[in-house]
């Protein structure tokens, strides 16, 4: 199916007769959303609306999960963000997710459909695409260690994120749809590290110093940056009994180890 095509989504949902829908599909790369605002807004907003509308039209008791994002908080004025923190998005991507959040909420309130939004902070793993900074670093470190690359160019290495492991976060999504009532949940680790910290740990893991390899490329800086994001997941911990299991250190090591294995096996 295509998020740009209501009929295709409707037909798939009609045919599959799902009990639960996890709507994760989107143009999810924040930097690209500045280059092509129109596609990002069209795909992310209309795509979400099409899935929600199909659920409503099909009249089945489908539980719906919407992938919200910490990018909805954007430029924050509080150290920690929870479900009550005001949204202040800084990118077309963030704006599209705020709209998706309100669409999801409105279908819950107006049509009594079980719809929940997970406001997920950055979640990483070896499966992350290399356009995102964590995988760019882990892959770059592996290539540098194996002599395939000399330098790693990055943008704003001072920006801070609450990085968790995708495996833990998928578990949170599933838990949200196993509840008796729907709602919104902030999902993060409650710990914050900079891009620089990630690079430092990743290079250290293979016995190198990031300062000898990282170069700063100003063209990788965003027109409007989100400097810091840090989750307060008390609601999820209490209501979903959810706890993140992977530490930042283990996340970095898992990603670097996986890329070392990849580079050794395929040679690129």
Q: Which is nearer to ligand F7E, 180 or 212 (CB)?
A: 212
Q: 55-81 burial, b for 16+ CB within 10 Å, e for fewer?
A: bbeeeeebbbbbbbbbbbbbebeeebb
Residues 6+ apart with CB under 8 A from 238: none
Determine if 71 is a binding residue for ligand F7E (CB under 6 A). Answer: yes
Among 161, 165, 201, 205, binds ligand F7E (CB under 6 A): 161
| Least separation in angstroms between CB 58 and ligand F7E | 28
Q: Which is nearer to ligand F7E, 18 or 190 (CB)?
A: 190
**Range 229-258, binding ligand F7E (CB under 6 A):** none
Residue 184: both structure tokens together:
């919104």
Name the minimum Å distance from CB 84 to ligand F7E: 19
Under rule CB under 6 A, residue 159 binds ligand F7E: yes
Q: Sketch the per residue contact string, 107 through 146, with ligand F7E: x for CB under 6 A, - otherwise.
A: --------------xx--------xxx--x----------
Annotate 22-34 with three-state secondary structure.
EECCCCCCHHHHH
Our separate counts of H helices and E strands in the chain read 10, 10
Indicate the burial class of 264 (C-beta count within 10 angstroms; 0-12, 13-18, 19 or more). exposed
| List of residues contacting ligand F7E (CB under 6 A) | 28, 30-31, 69-71, 121-122, 131-133, 136, 154-157, 159, 161, 195, 220, 222, 225
């Amino acid at each position: 199916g295509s998020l740009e095509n209501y009929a295709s989504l409707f037909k798939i949902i009609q045919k599959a007769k799902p009990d639960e829908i996890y709507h994760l599909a989107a143009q999810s790369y924040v930097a690209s959303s500045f280059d092509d605002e129109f596609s990002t807004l069209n795909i992310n907003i209309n795509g979400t609306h099409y899935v929600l509308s199909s659920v409503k039209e099909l009249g089945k008791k489908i539980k719906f999960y919407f992938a919200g994002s910490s990018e909805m908080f954007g430029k924050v004025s509080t150290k920690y963000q929870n479900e009550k923190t005001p949204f202040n998005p800084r990118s077309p991507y963030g704006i599209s997710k705020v709209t998706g959040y309100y669409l999801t909420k409105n279908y819950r309130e107006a049509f009594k459909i079980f719809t929940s939004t997970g406001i997920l902070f950055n979640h990483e793993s070896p499966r992350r695409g290399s356009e995102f900074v964590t995988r760019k670093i882990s892959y770059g470190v592996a290539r540098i260690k194996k002599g395939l690359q000399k330098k790693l160019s990055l943008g704003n290495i001072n920006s801070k994120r609450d990085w968790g492991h995708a495996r833990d976060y998928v578990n949170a999504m599933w838990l949200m749809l196993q509840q008796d009532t729907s709602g919104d949940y902030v999902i993060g680790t409650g710990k914050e590290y900079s891009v620089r910290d990630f690079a430092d740990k990743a290079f250290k893991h293979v016995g190198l110093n990031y300062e000898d390899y990282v170069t700063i490329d100003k063209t990788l800086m965003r027109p409007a940056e989100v400097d810091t994001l840090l989750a307060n997941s008390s609601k999820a911990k209490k209501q979903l009994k959810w706890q993140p299991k992977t530490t930042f250190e283990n996340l970095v090591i898992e990603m670097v180890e996986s890329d070392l294995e990849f580079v050794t096996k395929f040679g690129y």
